[in-house]
Amino acid sequence: ALTIGIVGLPNVGKSTMFNALTKNNVLAANYPFATIEPNVGVVPLPDPRLKVLAGIFGSQAILPATVSFVDIAGIVKGASEGEGLGNKFLANIREADAICQVVRAFVDDDVHHVDGKVSPASDLETINTELVLADLQTLEKAVPRLDKEVKGKKTDKSVLDAAVAAQKILESGDPISKHPGEVDLDAVRELGLLTTKPFIYVFNVDESQLTDEAFQAEMSALVAPADAIFLNAQLESEVAELDEEEARELLESVGITEPGLDQLAHKGFNTLGLQTYLTAGPKETRAWTIRKGWTAPQAAGVIHTDFQKGFIKAEVISFDDLVEAGSVAEARAKGKARMEGKDYVMQDGDVVEFRFNV
């Protein structure tokens, strides 16, 4: 499953946000693996289509796609010097598909700030610097080694070139992800560089900043081309404990329509080029995670490798067509159910039944 690592300076609201995320686990009962480790939370990707489908099919259960969040504590100013970033930190961050950096923007004199004052720009700078320095350390060792290996014809030159290109970017102070397309990421994958991962920035804001467009534009510009999300962690943890109706009212009262955490799950999916397709029946309605551009057999493989190996065809109805028709039978009668072969590229919201040989 998709894993997003949460990093940030101490006292910016990481735990508050993480707790809200895991409290939000309405459907935890369907996921026996929901509590793996204390710092891992598995949360459903909100998808209103699932409830509609479950209604049409009379499904007993709804299983949304999931996103795992890992609370990666342990980054402070100077972390990359001296003893370096801790092993647990490095292992956690390397396993994550994307990094979510939480930045404090809320002002509250009762909450101590490690630098004595609230400054999102300098917090961003601090964390970036630590991650960039950690990657530079990795490359300082790797580049001479790769150089030797290339001379000895043990490694392809493209790997060395990519490492050197990465080093240049880092030396300018930027994370590698800030320069999409400039480094061959596949070539440097084995080096486990931290800043090659996609970043999502969460600004923990107070209520007034939630709807302050000028402020948000300013913060977005600081982190572009990465995505910025603005949420109030304390509010999110309150929202997570309410039922749907109450939650909507509370959000409306502060002028927003979607919980920040839902935005985060969606952005995470988008940033990583993921999408979902849907299966439905009397037992369950379920969302499955795939990459954009995957073909029908690849998508089938997410359910079971046998489905991919024995793939014959897929019966596909788009969600909107199915809802309009009201049932699979009616969608078929209207010619809205398509038989797709092995070259079919999956579309978001396809409702699918695979036919396969076992």
**Residues 110, 214: Cα–Cα separation, whole Å:** 26
Check residue 186 for interaction with ligand GDP (CB under 6 A).
no
Cis amide linkage into residue 297, ω under 30° from 0: no
Packing angle, helices 157-171 and 120-151, rounded to 10: 150
Q: Could you tell me which of 151, 189, 182, 181 has the C-alpha nearest to residue 168?
A: 182
Options 76, 91, 111, 254; binder of ligand GDP; rule CB under 6 A: 111
To the question of whether residue 151 is assigned a binding role by annotation, the answer is no
If the CB atoms of residues 112 and 153 are measured against ligand GDP, the closer one turns out to be: 112
If the CB atoms of residues 26 and 118 are measured against ligand GDP, the closer one turns out to be: 118
Give residues 213-252 in contact with ligand GDP (rule: CB under 6 A). Answer: 232-234
Query: Cβ 166 to ligand GDP, closest distance in Å?
Result: 29
Size of the residue set binding ligand GDP (CB under 6 A): 16
Residue 6, phi then psi, degrees to nearest 5:
-100, 120
Check residue 14 for interaction with ligand GDP (CB under 6 A).
yes
If the CB atoms of residues 25 and 204 are measured against ligand GDP, the closer one turns out to be: 204
Strand pairing report for 284-291 and 274-280: antiparallel
If the CB atoms of residues 196 and 209 are measured against ligand GDP, the closer one turns out to be: 209
Options 92, 138, 204, 289; binder of ligand GDP; rule CB under 6 A: 204
Query: Cβ 69 to ligand GDP, closest distance in Å?
Result: 13
Options 81, 108, 186, 246; binder of ligand GDP; rule CB under 6 A: 108
Contact 289, 274 (CB under 8 A): yes
**Residues 75, 70: Cα–Cα separation, whole Å:** 14
Cβ atoms within 10 Å, residue 48: 6
The DSSP output letter for 282 is: S
Options 2, 7, 12, 188; binder of ligand GDP; rule CB under 6 A: 12
Listed ranges 7-15, 74-82, 256-264, 345-353: which one lies at the site for ligand GDP (CB under 6 A): 7-15
Contact 149, 167 (CB under 8 A): no
Query: Cβ 126 to ligand GDP, closest distance in Å?
Result: 13
- Determine the distance from the C-alpha atom of residue 280 to the mean position of all C-alpha atoms in its chain, rounded to a whole number: 25
The burial class, CB within 10 Å (0-12 / 13-18 / 19+), for 181 is exposed
If the CB atoms of residues 14 and 178 are measured against ligand GDP, the closer one turns out to be: 14
To the question of whether residue 220 is assigned a binding role by annotation, the answer is no
If the CB atoms of residues 121 and 254 are measured against ligand GDP, the closer one turns out to be: 254
Options 8, 120, 260, 301; binder of ligand GDP; rule CB under 6 A: 8
To the question of whether residue 16 is assigned a binding role by annotation, the answer is yes
Three-class SS of 9-45: CCCCCHHHHHHHHHHCCCCHHHCCCCCCCCCEEEEEC
Contact 271, 227 (CB under 8 A): yes
Distances (CA, A) of 68 to 15, 25, 83, 225, 295: 15, 11, 29, 24, 25
To the question of whether residue 116 is assigned a binding role by annotation, the answer is no
Check residue 13 for interaction with ligand GDP (CB under 6 A).
yes
Check residue 15 for interaction with ligand GDP (CB under 6 A).
yes
**Residues 169, 171: Cα–Cα separation, whole Å:** 5
Residue 274, phi then psi, degrees to nearest 5:
-105, 160
Listed ranges 26-34, 103-111, 178-186, 259-267: which one lies at the site for ligand GDP (CB under 6 A): 103-111
Options 1, 11, 180, 217; binder of ligand GDP; rule CB under 6 A: 11
To the question of whether residue 13 is assigned a binding role by annotation, the answer is yes
Check residue 298 for interaction with ligand GDP (CB under 6 A).
no
Listed ranges 85-93, 105-113, 162-170, 241-249: which one lies at the site for ligand GDP (CB under 6 A): 105-113
The residue ranges that bind ligand GDP (CB under 6 A) are 8, 10-16, 106, 108, 111, 204, 206, 232-234
Detail the residues annotated as belonging to a binding site. 11-16
Known binding residues for ATP are 11-16
